[in-house]
Amino acid sequence: MNQSVTLPSGIATAEIDEVLRSRSFWRLTLPGPLERQFHLHVLARRLQQFQRSGWLALLIFDSFLLVDWLMAPDVLVYSVIVRLGVFTPFGVLALLLLRRFQPLVPLEQASKMVDWMTLISGWGAGLCLALILLKTQSPWGGYYQAGFVVIILYGILVQPLSFKWALPYGLGLLAMHMWCAQMGQGMPAPLQISILHMLVSTLGLSLAASFMVDRLRRRRFLLLLREERLIERLGHVNQQLQGWSRSDVLTGVPNRRHFHEHLAQVWERARHDRTPVSVLMLDVDHFKAFNDRYGHPAGDACLRQVAQGMAAHLRKPVDFIARYGGEEFIAVLPGADLEVARQVAERVCEGIRALGLPHEGSSTSPMVTVSVGVATAVPGTPNTSADELVSNADRALYDAKREGRNRVGVIAQV
């Protein structure tokens, strides 16, 4: 049984809830694609159950030769031919063919195939019993008609057939019994009525059980499907929360936590490859004065434009930008040596100036400018670490600000 069944993805939770709230007691068929998906969902288990119970049913069917010997000894040879020579070989062949060729059959066809095989095998077993009953002259033969009970229970409760298949299955077996009672040797009326009552009662209770099981199986499927949908939704929400926890709400770029996670990964790869790693730390010049003059909403808009301007002048897609805190941004440049990193930092400075954002509160320039600190290291060399690299970039930024801002400061760690 190599085929697997997955739950449908195009069915909304609201549709499932609506079906679950439905109070239609007699309705067994689910609406839309739900019914088909239900059959596909339970098919794998049905196929496995049919195989296992099929072999057991054959064994029990042949064990009734003992009952044939006790109840109808005059047709024992005939019973052996019918059970062991006809029914059992066909049953064994059907089970072997199902096991071999079922994986090659489409799932929809496999479901119908199991239903038909259950129906035919049950009717076949009932026909074998009927032939034995019609053949025997034993005075115990009339009592043997109770054997139809076992066949009814096999198809409706053991397999089990769905209600729409169980109904013709059971009615067919009941008709065989009535045919035997009509055509066989006469039995006392009380015995005939008692056996008929027993069979009708067994059939009625079995069909009621089949109906309730059908409803419960569909309800269980809907509950499982709704649970799958809820898990999917929770997964999406969890992904969003993880994204928000690693992103800066104001600028949309990754936050400080995400930066340190990314730097650690880049550092390990570079240590293995013995390649340099550079860090750029950027600070908006005189940003407090900008906020004081233009207000915090304008300051927020300025930070968003600085983040976009910095990202636009990094090397895409290898470089990584994050907001480090306040008006500070930081970038990781994997594989960039000191000269490459310095050139990138110069482009960033020029790019921010080119935005032309007015800054009348700045003592450096009438436009918004930035200072950038650059540090480079080769992981794996003595006295180097990712934290030390960030500290050096901060020191380089401090040097750039001390030297007049609107410039790039550089520190190489070797």
408: amino acid identity, one letter: V
Q: For the segment 242-289, what is each residue's pLDDT rounded down to a tens digit?
A: 656 678 889 989 999 999 999 999 999 999 989 999 999 999 999 999
Rg of the chain over all Cα atoms, to the nearest angstrom: 40
Output the CA torsion sign for 393, 396, 401, 402.
Answer: positive
Q: What is the pLDDT of residue 403?
A: 94
Which of these is catalytic: 18, 228, 232, 327?
327
Q: Looking at the predicted structure, is the pLDDT value of residue 5 above 50?
A: no
Q: What is the pLDDT of residue 241?
A: 59
Residues with Cβ within 8 Å of residue 157, at least 6 apart in sequence: 206, 209, 210
Q: Looking at the predicted structure, is the pLDDT value of residue 4 above 50?
A: no
**At 3, is the pLDDT very low, low, confident or very high (cuts 50, 70, 90)?**
very low
Q: For the segment 88-104, what is each residue's pLDDT rounded down to a tens digit?
A: 999 999 888 888 877 77
Q: For the segment 300-314, what is each residue's pLDDT rounded down to a tens digit?
A: 999 999 999 999 999
Dihedral, CA of residue 396, residue 284, residue 365 and residue 333, to nearest 10: 50
**At 28, is the pLDDT very low, low, confident or very high (cuts 50, 70, 90)?**
confident
50 membership: H or E segment, kind and range: helix 34-63
Name which residue leads in pLDDT, 178 or 6: 178
Query: Based on the number of CB atoms within 10 Å of its own CB, is 6 exposed (0-12), middle (13-18) or buried (19 or more)?
Result: exposed
Rounded (5°) CA angle 385-403-333: 35
Name which residue leads in pLDDT, 335 or 230: 335
Q: What is the pLDDT of residue 1?
A: 41
28 phi/psi in degrees, rounded to 5: -110, -20
String of DSSP letters for 77-136: HHHHIIIIIIIHHHHHHHHHHHHHHGGGS-HHHHHHHHHHHHHHHHHHHHHHHHHHHHH-
Integer Cα distance of 59 and 68 in angstroms:
15
Q: Looking at the predicted structure, is the pLDDT value of residue 186 above 90?
A: no
**Domains along the sequence of the chain with CATH:** 13-232 (no CATH), 256-412 (3.30.70.270)
| pTM (predicted TM-score) | 0.55
String of DSSP letters for 128-170: HHHHHHHH---TTTTGGGGGHHHHHHIIIIISPPPHHHHHHHH
Q: Which residues of 40-70 are buried (b: 16+ CB within 10 A; e: fewer)?
A: bbbbbebbeebbebbeebbeebeebeeebee
Q: What is the pLDDT of residue 269?
A: 93
Integer Cα distance of 108 and 39 in angstroms:
8
Is 327 considered catalytic here?
yes
